[in-house]
Amino acid sequence: MICARWRLVSIAPLLLLGACVQYRPQAYNSREHLAAWKQRDSTSQEVQAFAARLARDSPLGPQPFDSKDGLTLPEAQLVALAFNPELRHRRAQSATVLAAAENAGLLPDPQLSLEFQHVIDAIEKPWVLAGALGFTLPVSGRLKREKRLAQAELDAELWRVAEQEWTTLNTLARTWLKWSAFREKAEQARQQHENLEGIFQITQALSAADEIPKADARLIQIERSRLLGERQHFEHEAKGEELEIKALMGMQSKAPLELVSSLHPFTGADRPPEELEEALQTRHPMLARVQAEYAAADQKLLLEIRKQVPDLQFGPSYEDDEGTKKVGAALSIPLPIFNRNRANIAEAQAARVAAIVAQEAARERLLGELTRSQHRREAAQVDLKHMVEDLAPLTDEQLSEARQLAETGEVNGLILFQSLNQAYQTKIQMIDAQLEMALEEAELQRLAPLGTMSPMAVKEITP
């Protein structure tokens, strides 16, 4: 009877294994993944629904999404939030921190101990059987601290994701601006090439009739060839930036996307300096991230200090000693005399100091970047104003007079060529100035967000 009873006790742990999580294989299927990636479409209902859900809580604030008439930069940023490969991977990694937070602070499993002894001497009941069941009594409060630490680490992790999202959006915006500028430059080069074509034909005819030196005609021919190469260069650069845009959006390079170029997509750059600084101090995800990391380091220190107080081990016991049955209870507690968790406490204290320094360094760095970006934007604004108000009118006037002379029959190919070239170079310089201005506006938006920043829930944002 006793042996049967102890057999049942001995197999009890095996029966409990049925309640444990079982392993299930989950392999990566490259064919299915690549097929799904190639079929990914920004106009599909799935993408639009996903982007609409992201738009409600994204750092950009509520944004309209209708990609059927072409993707604007804000719409492309929503698609990037959904499908950018680095962001998807980062969120998947964050899910591990979420899983740890959801299962933190659980009671340790009880411990079952069994002891079997056989008396060698010949006696009637030679077996000595003993067993005990041990439970942990969390009198130290350690479990609550573990939950708080896990939640603090989850908050810090979500802010790391939000910071990477914000950086990705800014990278996409800067790439979009460069692509727009190269597209505009390519169009200006195309128009200039068409304008030079007529002058080239005239100068070739005049050169053949020995009415102008062949060197003058060759000069225009050289410029015509150089301009063709410059146009091809701008088109290749625009194509390269377009491919980078698709990669940032998580779309394949051959995806049939219609992108809407723009060099003026940003607002809020004209805010007063104190308003920009306030937005940086209260809304930038890097500052929120280092603050959350400090909170996690502080909770870590509190947990390590709490671990100085040990938890109690308590449980009932049973013994059958040569037929004499005994029941009782066991109580054990470690004595904090030698170790007292000093190494972990010292490490946590140093980590908290490092977290404070990280906040100082991040704030100094961002405020310095804000000041430098404001200076660069002001410089670009002055350059653009000079071109628009001074240089462009002069080149337009020069070109207009050269054309008027041509209309009266006084064709001077070199003067017309020089006028056209000056006008073209001015337009290219104006595009560069607009690009520099827009890049600094994008940088100011990165440093001083207009909307309220908040990390999105990992469960909702992981595709």
Tens digits of residue pLDDT in 143-171: 999 999 999 999 999 999 989 989 999 99
Which fold would CATH assign to domain 96-110+142-311+340-456?
Outer membrane efflux proteins (OEP) (1.20.1600)
Mean pLDDT, rounded, for 400-428? 70
* pTM of this structure: 0.83
What integer pLDDT is reported at residue 362 of this predicted model? 96
Asked if pLDDT for residue 31 goes beyond 90, the answer is no
Residue 187 has which token pair?
Answer: 């169009």
Residues 286, 451: contact at Cβ < 8 Å? no
Asked if pLDDT for residue 313 goes beyond 60, the answer is yes
Q: What is the largest CA-CA distance in the chain?
A: 137
Confidence of residue 284 (pLDDT cuts 50, 70, 90): very high
Cα distances from 403 to residues 379, 391, 399, 415, in angstroms, run 34, 19, 6, 10
What integer pLDDT is reported at residue 319 of this predicted model? 82
- Count of C-beta atoms within a 10 Å radius of residue 292: 23
Residues 293, 358: contact at Cβ < 8 Å? yes
